[in-house]
Amino acid sequence: MKNSQDSALRERAARVIPGGMYGHQSTALMPDGFPQFFTKAEGTRITDADGNEYIDYMCAYGPNLFGYNHPDIARAISAQQLKVDAATGPSPLIVDLAEAMVGMVTHADWAMFCKNGGDATMMALMIARAYRGKRKVLVAKKAYHGAMPWNTPRPAGVLPEDRAHLIYFDYNDPQALEDAAKEAGDDLAGIFAAPFRHDTFADQSMPDREYAQAARRIADKYDALLIVDDVRAGFRICRDCSWEAIGVRPDLSAWGKTLGNGQPISALLGNDRARAAASKIFVTGSFWFAAVPMAAALETMRLIRETEYLEHMTMIGESFRQGLASQAADSGFGLRQTGPVTLPMVLFEDDPDFRIGYAFCQAALQRGVYLSPYHNMFMNAAMTCSDIAQTLEATGAAFEDIKRSRASLKPSAALTALADA
């Protein structure tokens, strides 16, 4: 596998970009040899700066739902580009899109649009506080809601004061939620419930109905707002808010990632209870009203409504999961595959420092399959049975590789450094 262009770009980046790269797309936590830069993305494939092509199981960390550069969405984008994008006022598409989303998401009566998932979760936080002028917000421990001072996962640059009114509880534990609410008392503004547990380096878990119902009941009892952060799971579990599947309706839901199939757009949806508070807060952004991403989102919504994308993606996800499970069993590895099949998390048994998982992903990458050893992955609707067959050929060989080298595997240097930091 060639990597000379990638290395040259990394050297240049190290001079002009702090740390060489930042945020979730830095390869700092990936196994050695993962490319940093990509020059092309089409359908299910990404091509790195050296021309190596991979079947991509990260899907831009979520946004790619229908395949990169999907023809219908690409057409909607080019047509809108000729009309208006960011201008002095929004285009009529903002109303079309708000209607489309309110029409699809059962709990929602209104929509507001922004750029990133973090904008939407920040608006949810503000609306919860504006709702009754209360301060305390309950958040599940380790749940990711974005990278702002109130929720970024690393401590640098963050003050305790930024989080002074957040109370953390254990996900899926109704008693912990109840205790946290009691602690907040009559100052409880909102509950961030997380649609399911999708923390990094950990098994995923689906929400217990009892937990979800407790979240709703507690929010009602304290006259606080219940928020589902569907930024990651949205439209990969159902064609509605992810908690609709378990019959619990939040007051607010945050959306992003898949919404424009890669175009920059996110949304906060809410019900009538939260409408007055949502009209009070001042939130905005230079690009929030741009029409091109809205055209992409409208076309994405149409595909969600009119195609069997979810059933297809579920079928593909199941065959990926089953294929990996039988290869692992054949080669003597224990695998834990958790969460929805459309957002697969694959971790190895007896792998406390992740050295097996890292070596496995490294071996798969060399055979043209881009997987993550620590973050949930993402299926997309463009994936075909032949993509899965090609993937399983690569992973089959990767299992053989790590079986041979098992005794000599070393823990990843990046992870050791992180643990020491």
Work out how close the CB of 120 gets to ligand PLP at its nearest, in angstroms, rounded to a whole number: 7
**Residue 169 vs 360, nearer CB to ligand PLP:** 169
- Cβ neighbours for 137, distance < 8 A, ≥ 6 positions apart: 125, 128, 129, 165, 166, 167, 189, 190, 191, 192
Work out how close the CB of 376 gets to ligand PLP at its nearest, in angstroms, rounded to a whole number: 9
Work out how close the CB of 92 gets to ligand PLP at its nearest, in angstroms, rounded to a whole number: 25
Work out how close the CB of 216 gets to ligand PLP at its nearest, in angstroms, rounded to a whole number: 19
Euclidean distance between CA atoms 116 and 231, whole angstroms = 9
Token couple for 124: 């949810």
Q: How many helices (H) and strands (E) does the chain have?
A: 12, 13
Work out how close the CB of 249 gets to ligand PLP at its nearest, in angstroms, rounded to a whole number: 18
**Residue 256 vs 396, nearer CB to ligand PLP:** 256
Work out how close the CB of 82 gets to ligand PLP at its nearest, in angstroms, rounded to a whole number: 27
Euclidean distance between CA atoms 121 and 192, whole angstroms = 9
**Cβ-based burial of 241 (10 A; exposed 0-12, middle 13-18, buried ≥19):** buried
Instruction: Give the CB-nearest residue to ligand PLP.
Output: 117
Euclidean distance between CA atoms 247 and 397, whole angstroms = 43
Work out how close the CB of 116 gets to ligand PLP at its nearest, in angstroms, rounded to a whole number: 3
Burial 374-398 (b: 16+ CB within 10 A, else e): bbbbbbbbbbeeebbebbbebbbeb
**Residue 266 vs 300, nearer CB to ligand PLP:** 266
Work out how close the CB of 234 gets to ligand PLP at its nearest, in angstroms, rounded to a whole number: 9
**Residue 67 vs 195, nearer CB to ligand PLP:** 195
CB 104 within 8 A of CB 305: yes
Give whole-number Cα distances, 363 to 9, 286, 330, 357, 416, in Å: 23, 43, 17, 10, 20
Work out how close the CB of 8 gets to ligand PLP at its nearest, in angstroms, rounded to a whole number: 28
**Residue 265 vs 347, nearer CB to ligand PLP:** 265
Q: Say which residue the tokens 């994405």 belong to.
A: 300
> Using the 8-state DSSP alphabet, how is residue 208 labeled?
P
Give contact residues for ligand PLP (rule: CB under 6 A).
Answer: 116-118, 121, 144-146, 229, 231-232, 256, 266
**Residue 132 vs 142, nearer CB to ligand PLP:** 142
CB 330 within 8 A of CB 132: no
Euclidean distance between CA atoms 180 and 219, whole angstroms = 12
Euclidean distance between CA atoms 264 and 270, whole angstroms = 20
Q: Say which residue the tokens 């589902």 belong to.
A: 228
**Residue 262 vs 396, nearer CB to ligand PLP:** 262
CB 336 within 8 A of CB 349: yes
**Residue 199 vs 387, nearer CB to ligand PLP:** 199
**Residue 340 vs 396, nearer CB to ligand PLP:** 340
**Residue 226 vs 356, nearer CB to ligand PLP:** 226
Work out how close the CB of 35 gets to ligand PLP at its nearest, in angstroms, rounded to a whole number: 21
